[in-house]
Each structure stands twice: as C-alpha cells, then as structure tokens.
Amino acid sequence: MDIVMYGAEWCGDCRRSKALLDKLGASHQLTYTYIDVEADPAAADRVIEINGGMRSIPVICFPDGTHLTEPSDNALREKLVELKAI
C-alpha cells in the first residue's frame, strides 16, 4: 500500500502517528514512506498545498487520494481498516 506520511521529528503528533504505523506495519505487513518536512523544503510546500495553506503535520496520504491531517490514533486506525490495510 502506498501511504506517505509528512512529518518532523520535533512534532509529538508525528511521533505518535509514526509509532502507530510502525506497530501496525510489524503485525500487518503495512509499509509507508516517511518524509521529513524539515529536511525537504518541497515536502513542506506540499503539506501547505494539501492543507489549503496550513502547515499542520502530520499529513498522511493514502492511495485512494484522501489524506488525514493531525489524525487521532483511532481515526488513523479506522482509515486503515476502511482501506483493508489492516
């Protein structure tokens, strides 16, 4: 599954979402690409574009063309179930 997560190491919500994806990945063969917006200015611009001008992270993009911004663990888990990723 082609999931992309935009985040930054200083962001607590990013660390939480990344930890959940790592945990689910270990038990469900879930993979994702993590892009650090601090290291990649183009990625930071992409986050602003996705969020309609806001710099909010994490942004998690899914293969169905949807995304979640600053999702709770429950919202992220529900989306992954909806996509049959877990």
**Dihedral (Cα; 19, 21, 25, 27), 10-degree rounding:** 70
Length of the chain: 86
Give the pLDDT band (50/70/90) at residue 28: confident
Give the pLDDT band (50/70/90) at residue 26: confident
8-state DSSP, 65: S
One-letter amino acid for residue 8 of the chain: A
The count of structural domains within the chain is: 1
Domain of residue 23, residue span = 3-82
Domain with residue 42: its CATH number is: 3.40.30.10
Give the pLDDT band (50/70/90) at residue 1: low
Contact residues for 84 (Cβ-Cβ < 8 A; gap 6+): none
Beta bridge partners of 32: 3
